[in-house]
């Protein structure tokens, strides 16, 4: 009798836990689907004003954490996704996060972007070598060509190392269909072409 009660409690806990995981992932999926299909997303178009301000200022101040800094257009998967400065959950819930310790897109060195595999980057594995990735900011537009695709361990720090040329590194968890915290990262490495 006691064993039956323990099994009932364990069963109920597993069902409740499963429902919680399902609902949480469903919410993330819906939010990501909305972000990934909102191709009409644009920045507030004050580009001329911003460009003039940047030209007038000798030193441009870095963006604040959580600030929208641009958008990433991936032509192959027909997606335009907003980029936010920082990679905390707050930024990743709204779109792509820009690793704050990396340079801004368009600058010489390694600009690192990250996003969730089950939201904004759920189709990232469809991107091929030679495809263009376009980062649009308030001041300019930068086109990168994908030169390398690789899968690394989740703790691999080579993803964020400095590069000798203007590089865009795009990172998401891997495998794409993995349930829970994925053990690897899917990496696109692209070089600035214009």
The reported pLDDT for the residue numbered 14 is 80
Measured from the Cβ of residue 40, the count of other Cβ atoms closer than 10 Å reads: 6
Tokens standing for residue 94: 């709204």
The reported pLDDT for the residue numbered 45 is 45
List Cα–Cα distances, 61 to 53, 55, 57, 58, 98, in angstroms: 11, 12, 9, 10, 16
- Mean pLDDT, the chain, as a whole number? 84
Q: Is 98 a catalytic residue?
A: no
The two beta strands, 132-136 and 141-153, are antiparallel
3-state DSSP call for residue 160?
helix
Q: Do 170 and 113 form a contact (C-beta atoms < 8 A)?
A: yes
The reported pLDDT for the residue numbered 58 is 42
Alpha carbons 99 and 85: distance in angstroms, whole number: 7
3-state DSSP call for residue 90?
helix
| Total tally of structural domains belonging to the chain | 1
Residue 168: give its domain's CATH number.
Answer: 2.40.260.10
The reported pLDDT for the residue numbered 52 is 52
Q: Which of the following is catalytic: 41, 85, 98, 116?
A: 116
pTM for this predicted structure = 0.70
Q: Is 41 a catalytic residue?
A: no
The reported pLDDT for the residue numbered 28 is 58
Which segments of the chain have a pLDDT < 50? 33, 36-49, 54, 56-58
Domain that holds residue 83: 2-192
The reported pLDDT for the residue numbered 27 is 64
Q: Which of the following is catalytic: 41, 85, 98, 173?
A: 173
The reported pLDDT for the residue numbered 142 is 97
């Amino acid at each position: 009798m006691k064993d039956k009660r323990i099994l009932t409690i364990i069963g109920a806990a597993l069902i409740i836990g499963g429902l919680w995981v399902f609902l949480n992932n469903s919410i993330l999926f819906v939010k990501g689907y909305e972000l990934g299909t909102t191709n009409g997303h644009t920045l507030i178009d004050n580009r001329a004003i911003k460009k003039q301000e940047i030209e007038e200022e000798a030193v441009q101040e870095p963006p604040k954490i959580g600030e929208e800094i641009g958008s990433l257009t991936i032509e192959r998967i027909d997606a335009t996704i907003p980029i936010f400065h920082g990679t905390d959950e707050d930024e990743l819930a709204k779109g792509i996060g820009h690793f704050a310790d990396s340079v801004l897109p368009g600058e010489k060195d390694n600009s690192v972007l990250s996003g969730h595999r089950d939201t904004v980057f759920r189709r990232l594995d469809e991107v091929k070598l030679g495809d263009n990735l376009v980062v649009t900011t308030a001041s300019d537009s930068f086109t990168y060509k994908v030169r390398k695709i690789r899968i690394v361990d989740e703790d691999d720090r080579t993803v964020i190392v400095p590069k000798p040329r203007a590089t865009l590194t795009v990172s998401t968890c891997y495998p794409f269909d993995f349930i829970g915290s994925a053990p690897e990262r899917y990496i696109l490495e692209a070089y600035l072409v214009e």
